[in-house]
């Protein structure tokens, strides 16, 4: 697992980038060790997407496309809770069982706001425990 730390830490630099460049603040009420959550004005998402692509590549599930079948049959999609048509999901595969993701989830109740989530999905509990300890100051 140690061999994956640098790749993950490098990709997590996007958090500092979005906080500094776009003035997005971390949601203080989200206290999950491997999850960053912030809220952005929806009008910056197009520009923010370009920055995210530099770390994650093209979206795994772009906005405007259905993920109906993926939501049921794709383990990664199930782990992030699925995705609706208007949501964008980026994925960076670290290993066969470890994925970093960035999601843009527009607010249905307030369409000028979009939640930004950056998280690490581990299919094995031992990996989750390891990375929770090693990356506790990165998220």
pTM: 0.94
Give the tens place of pLDDT for each residue, 121-132. 999 999 999 999
Listed in sequence order, the residues at least 6 apart from 10 whose beta carbon sits closer than 8 Å to its beta carbon are 55
Residue 80 confidence (pLDDT) above 90: yes
1 has a pLDDT exceeding 90: no
Tokens for 137? 């100051």
The string of DSSP codes covering 41-92 is EGGGHHHHHHHHHHHH-S-SB-TTS--HHHHHH-HHHHHTT---TT-EEEEE
Q: What is the mean pLDDT of residues 37-64?
A: 97
- CA–CA gap between residue 46 and residue 75 (Å, rounded): 28
Decide if pLDDT at 29 tops 90. no
Distance CA 131, CA 126 (A): 9
Looking at CATH, the fold of the domain delimited by 2-56+94-134 is given as: 3.90.1150
């Amino acid at each position: 697992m140690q061999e994956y730390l640098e790749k993950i830490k490098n990709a997590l630099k996007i958090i500092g980038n979005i906080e500094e460049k776009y003035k997005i603040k971390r949601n203080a009420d989200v206290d999950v060790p491997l999850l960053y959550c912030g809220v952005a004005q929806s009008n910056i998402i197009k520009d923010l997407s370009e920055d995210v692509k530099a770390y994650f590549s093209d979206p795994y599930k772009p906005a405007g496309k259905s993920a109906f079948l993926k939501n049921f049959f794709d383990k990664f999609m199930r782990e992030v809770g699925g995705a609706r048509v208007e949501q964008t999901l980026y994925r960076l595969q670290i290993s066969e069982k470890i994925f970093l993701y960035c999601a843009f989830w527009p607010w249905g109740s307030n369409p000028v706001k979009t939640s930004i989530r950056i998280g690490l999905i581990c299919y094995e509990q031992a990996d989750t425990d390891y990375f929770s300890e090693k990356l506790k100051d990165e998220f």
